[in-house]
Amino acid sequence: MMKKTYTYTARNADEPAQVVTFTLYDHSMSVELGAPLEHIERALQSVSEEIEEEKEARVYAWLKPVVVSLLERGTRPFDIVDVDASVKDGGLRITAWGRSGGLRVAPVTFAMERVDNPAAAQAFVEELNRRKASAARPGKFSGPLDYWVTWFLTGFLAAALLVGWLRKRDKETA
């Protein structure tokens, strides 16, 4: 049993079948998608029923577990320091960053324009922020250096400056 869990289920006020459950435990947040997986399954099934050729139907049968697996990977537990959440005008927006090699790679955003219980959404955001304040940073760096893109652009800029300097030096000596 996990200690100190806090679970919030966000339900879309306009489309009640859209549900996302966020669970805070220790210094992590897990995400469980509700109805979207069911919608994807129904959509893939209706497409495969419309396909007449058996070979193409097998492709769609193979595609379903791949889509579900990708969604599950995108919703693996996140370190809470990599999660930003806000409630505005009755809507909820949560952005969580996936990490690779200790650096932030890509954001995963969960957004609903209107949730069915904005007060509960606000309480979740406040609890998340309270836990973030006491959590340790999981990365090696902070700020802009915590992103792969920054390191890539810095390396590219350094290489471009070095090549430019070498060319200028060669012209001066020639």
Q: What is the pLDDT of residues 54-89, one digit of tens each?
A: 555 555 555 555 555 555 555 568 888 889 999 999
Q: Are both 41 and 106 inside the same structural domain?
A: yes
Q: Residue 173's pLDDT is what?
A: 78
Q: Are both 91 and 36 inside the same structural domain?
A: yes
Indicate the number of domains in the chain. 2
Q: Are 81 and 137 in contact (CB under 8 A)?
A: yes
Q: Are both 172 and 121 inside the same structural domain?
A: no
Q: Are both 146 and 112 inside the same structural domain?
A: no
More confident residue, 115 or 145: 115
Q: How far apart are alpha carbons 71 and 164 in whole angstroms?
A: 44
The conformational region for residue 101 under phi > 0 = left, psi -120 to 50 = alpha, else beta, is: left
For residue 1, is it within any domain? no
Q: Residue 32's pLDDT is what?
A: 85
Query: Is the confidence at residue 132, as pLDDT, over 90?
Result: no
Q: Are both 104 and 170 inside the same structural domain?
A: no
Q: Residue 91's pLDDT is what?
A: 95
Range of the domain at 67: 6-139
More confident residue, 72 or 156: 156
Query: What integer best gives the mean pLDDT of the chain?
Result: 76
Q: Are both 47 and 115 inside the same structural domain?
A: yes
Q: Are both 76 and 86 inside the same structural domain?
A: yes
Backbone φ and ψ of 125, nearest 5° = -60, -40
Report which secondary-structure segment, H or E, holds 70.
helix 54-74
For residue 123, is it within any domain? yes
Q: Are 33 and 20 in contact (CB under 8 A)?
A: yes
More confident residue, 26 or 119: 119
Q: Are both 44 and 122 inside the same structural domain?
A: yes
User: Of the given ranges (25-39, 50-64, 88-102), which has the lowest mean pLDDT?
Assistant: 50-64
Q: How far apart are alpha carbons 110 and 10 in whole angstroms?
A: 10
According to DSSP, residue 15 is labeled: -
Q: Are both 14 and 81 inside the same structural domain?
A: yes
Q: Are both 135 and 146 inside the same structural domain?
A: no
b/e burial code for range 152-162 (CB count within 10 A of at least 16 → b): eeeeeeeeeee
Put simply, whether the predicted model's pTM sits higher than 0.75 gets the answer no
Q: Are both 159 and 122 inside the same structural domain?
A: no
Strand partners, 147: 104
Q: Are both 106 and 154 inside the same structural domain?
A: no
Query: Is the confidence at residue 161, as pLDDT, over 80?
Result: yes
User: Of the given ranges (15-29, 30-44, 103-117, 135-149), which has the lowest mean pLDDT?
Assistant: 135-149
Q: Residue 1's pLDDT is what?
A: 47
